[in-house]
Structure 1
Amino acid sequence: MNTIAIVNYGMGNFHSVARALRAAAPDADILIASRPEEVERASRVVFPGQGAMRDCMATLRASGLRDAVLHAARNKPLLGVCVGEQMLFSHSEEGDTPGLGIFPGNVVRFAGPAFSRPGADGAPQLKIPHMGWNRVRQTQAHPLWQGIPDQAFFYFVHSYYVAPSLSSLIVGQSDYGVSFTCAVAQANIFAVQFHPEKSGDTGLRLYRNFVGWNP
Structure 2
Amino acid sequence: MSAPDVAEKLTSLAKRRGFVFPSSEIYGGAGATWDFGPLGVELKNNVKRAWWRDMVQLREDIVGLDGAILMHPKVWEASGHVENFTDPLVECGNCRKRYRLDELPDGERLTEAWRAKTLDLASTPCPNCGQKKLSEPRRFNLMFKTFVGPVEDTASVAWLRPETAQSIFVDFENVQQSSRKRIPFGIAQIGKAFRNEITPGNFIFRSREFEQMEM
What band does the TM-score fall into relative to the shorter chain?
A: under 0.3
Please identify which structure carries the higher strand content. Answer: 1
Greater relative contact order structure (CA < 8 Å, 6+ sep):
2
Q: Which has the larger radius of gyration?
A: 2
Which structure dedicates a bigger proportion of its chain to helix? 2
TM-score (norm 1): 0.24
